[in-house]
């Protein structure tokens, strides 16, 4: 397996990089270990200062990095710019608050002094996806490194340019050599890295299949791992919902990044009393979405990231239609080079259809009709995933109660699309994974919470 970037808008090859030799990879692990033993003794003021530098560089270079992302995986340029800006925000957030979040916590006990503190684990291996090629890496690496760890990156094979750019920017920000390193590791080598005695923890964002494999491998050697896996997020639209708000939010949640997001709004669970109104409005919005050059700032929908992903999505749509779903718009593969797929709406989706049970990773909205609020909550939770969920209702107290107590997911939003925020914990339940990123919890995730007792 080589790491090859192919422009999904044209099908042209951009670059190819050879896999890292295992011997070279293990040498990098040793160098990262040596670097981490020094880095963990660096004061929080210096660590936070370097993180602030990283954030400034991301802001200064956002146009360059956005164009790189768009060329390698097809993200519309306006969304790519927003991704880099969000990375800079994360750096700023942790630079301002890391010392506070990692401060020891004193406890009054029978000792003269007792407290717990947060100490780094060592090397954290990040296995990262292609869909948010900067955000996912910064999200795991910046907090892990700020907590005193070193980080190794095994990025997706289709975004090698992004991987190299990320390695370079940590160096340019002034971080010590080998505190953050990229490895073009194939699957067998990645397994060996997980089990390497100097690698202390693993962070994976990817598929359920990958999560099972990584969790089994890490569990076999008793290592901490954080898993952010797939999602089939429901958007529950109740009878008293603000229809314009619900439609606009569901549209944005479904179409961001051509629908290629774990927390995309994938299932629209709509009560019968407003089904026709919602369906007509969402079809109108989706029909007006024109595929275009992802480098054009006005483009809402660019190509999907790869041909195989597009073909998998189309197969799910066709099988759902054959099982009884109604195709209201889209669903036809364009006759043009590249991994293009139109905005698509499937209505009348129910049990037994791929669109009901499987994650659709692309610009396809599925509308699931339900009788009432109770039925809507049941259907929303009738999935093996549990990453995000949203509910739309004019009664915000009821919406909050549903989000807090009834929806089985890690991130529950009322009258808004599910999104990640550096200030809030992010993660899932069930087959969407475990562990948390972002917020104080994410900064502490790859630390040893150590009790110290002194008489």
Look at the chain and report how many structural domains it folds into.
2
Residue 206 resides in a domain: yes
For residues 266 and 407, membership in a common domain is answered with: yes
For residues 237 and 225, membership in a common domain is answered with: no
For residues 225 and 239, membership in a common domain is answered with: no
**Cα(178)–Cα(82) distance, rounded to whole angstroms?**
28
**Model confidence at 148: pLDDT above 90:** yes
For residues 259 and 331, membership in a common domain is answered with: yes
For residues 450 and 395, membership in a common domain is answered with: no
Q: Are strands 433-434 and 224-228 parallel, antiparallel or unpaired?
A: antiparallel
Q: Which residue has the tokens 């093996």?
A: 384
Residue 419 resides in a domain: no
Residue 421 resides in a domain: no
Single pTM value for the model: 0.97
Residue 157 resides in a domain: yes
For residues 97 and 214, membership in a common domain is answered with: yes
Alpha-carbon separation of residue 362 from 92, 257, 262, 316, 381 (angstroms): 31, 8, 10, 11, 21
Count CB neighbours of 423 within 10 A: 12
Q: What is the CATH number of the domain that holds 31?
A: 3.40.605.10
* Rounded average pLDDT over 210-215: 97
Residue positions annotated with a catalytic role: 228, 262
Domain limits for position 86: 3-229+429-454
pLDDT tens digit sequence for 3-33: 999 999 999 999 999 999 999 999 999 999 9
Phi, psi of 7 (to 5 degrees): -65, 115
DSSP state letter for 118: E
Q: Are strands 150-154 and 180-182 parallel, antiparallel or unpaired?
A: parallel
For residues 220 and 238, membership in a common domain is answered with: no
For residues 223 and 241, membership in a common domain is answered with: no
**Cα(163)–Cα(370) distance, rounded to whole angstroms?**
44
For residues 122 and 148, the answer to whether their CB atoms sit within 8 Å is no
For residues 144 and 151, the answer to whether their CB atoms sit within 8 Å is yes
pLDDT tens digit sequence for 374-420: 999 999 999 999 999 999 999 999 999 999 999 999 999 999 999 99
Residue 76 resides in a domain: yes
For residues 135 and 156, membership in a common domain is answered with: yes
For residues 176 and 312, membership in a common domain is answered with: no
For position 48, what pLDDT does the model report? 98
For residues 338 and 401, membership in a common domain is answered with: yes
Residue 396 resides in a domain: yes
Q: Are strands 364-370 and 344-347 parallel, antiparallel or unpaired?
A: parallel
**Cα(333)–Cα(426) distance, rounded to whole angstroms?**
34
Collapsing DSSP to helix, strand or coil, 369 comes out as strand
Residue 422 resides in a domain: no
Confidence category of residue 1, pLDDT binned at 50, 70, 90? low
For residues 346 and 362, the answer to whether their CB atoms sit within 8 Å is no
Q: What is the CATH number of the domain that holds 296?
A: 3.40.309.10
Confidence category of residue 2, pLDDT binned at 50, 70, 90? confident
pLDDT tens digit sequence for 46-67: 999 999 999 999 999 999 999 9
pLDDT tens digit sequence for 60-101: 999 999 999 999 999 999 999 999 999 999 999 999 999 999
For residues 213 and 268, membership in a common domain is answered with: no
Give Cα 455 distance to the centre of its chain: 46
């Amino acid at each position: 397996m080589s790491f090859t970037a192919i422009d999904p808008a044209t099908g042209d090859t951009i670059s190819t990089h050879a896999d890292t030799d295992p011997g070279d990879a293990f040498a990098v692990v040793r160098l990262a270990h040596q670097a981490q033993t020094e880095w963990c003794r660096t004061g929080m003021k210096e660590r936070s200062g370097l993180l602030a530098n990283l954030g400034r560089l991301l802001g200064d270079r956002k146009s360059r990095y956005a164009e790189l992302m768009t060329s390698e995986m097809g993200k519309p340029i306006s969304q790519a710019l927003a991704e880099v800006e969000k990375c800079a925000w994360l750096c700023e957030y942790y630079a301002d608050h890391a010392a506070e979040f990692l401060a020891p916590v004193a406890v009054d006990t029978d000792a003269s002094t007792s407290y717990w503190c947060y100490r780094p684990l060592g090397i954290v291996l990040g296995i990262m996806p292609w869909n948010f090629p900067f955000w996912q890496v910064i999200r795991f690496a910046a907090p892990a490194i700020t907590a005193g760890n070193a980080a190794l990156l095994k990025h997706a094979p289709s975004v090698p340019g992004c991987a190299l750019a990320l390695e370079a920017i940590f160096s340019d920000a002034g971080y010590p050599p080998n505190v953050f390193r990229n490895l073009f590791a194939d699957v067998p080598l990645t397994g060996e890295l997980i089990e390497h005695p100097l690698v202390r923890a693993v962070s994976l964002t990817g598929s359920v299949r990958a999560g099972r494999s990584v969790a089994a491998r890490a569990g076999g050697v008793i290592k901490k791992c954080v898993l952010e896996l797939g999602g089939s997020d429901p958007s529950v639209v109740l009878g008293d919902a603000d229809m314009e708000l619900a439609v606009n939010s569901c549209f944005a949640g479904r179409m961001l990044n051509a629908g290629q997001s774990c927390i995309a709004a994938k299932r629209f669970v709509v009560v019968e009393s407003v089904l026709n109104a919602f369906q007509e409005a969402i079809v109108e919005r989706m029909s007006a979405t024109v595929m275009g050059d992802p480098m054009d700032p006005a483009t809402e929908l660019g190509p999907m990231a790869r041909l195989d992903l597009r073909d998998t999505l189309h197969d799910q749509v066709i099988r759902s239609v054959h099982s009884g779903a109604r195709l209201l718009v889209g669903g036809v593969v364009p006759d043009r080079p590249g991994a293009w797929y139109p905005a698509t709406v499937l209505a009348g989706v129910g049990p037994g259809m791929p669109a009901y049970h499987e994650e659709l990773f692309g610009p396809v909205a599925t509308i699931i009709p339900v009788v009432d609020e109770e039925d809507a909550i049941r259907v929303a939770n009738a999935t093996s995933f549990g990453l995000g969920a949203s509910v739309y209702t004019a009664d915000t107290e009821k919406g909050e109660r549903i989000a807090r107590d009834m929806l089985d997911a890690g991130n529950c939003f009322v009258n808004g699309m599910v999104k990640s925020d550096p200030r809030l914990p992010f993660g899932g339940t069930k087959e969407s994974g475990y562990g948390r990123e972002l917020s104080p919890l994410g900064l502490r995730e790859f630390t040893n919470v150590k009790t110290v007792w002194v008489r």
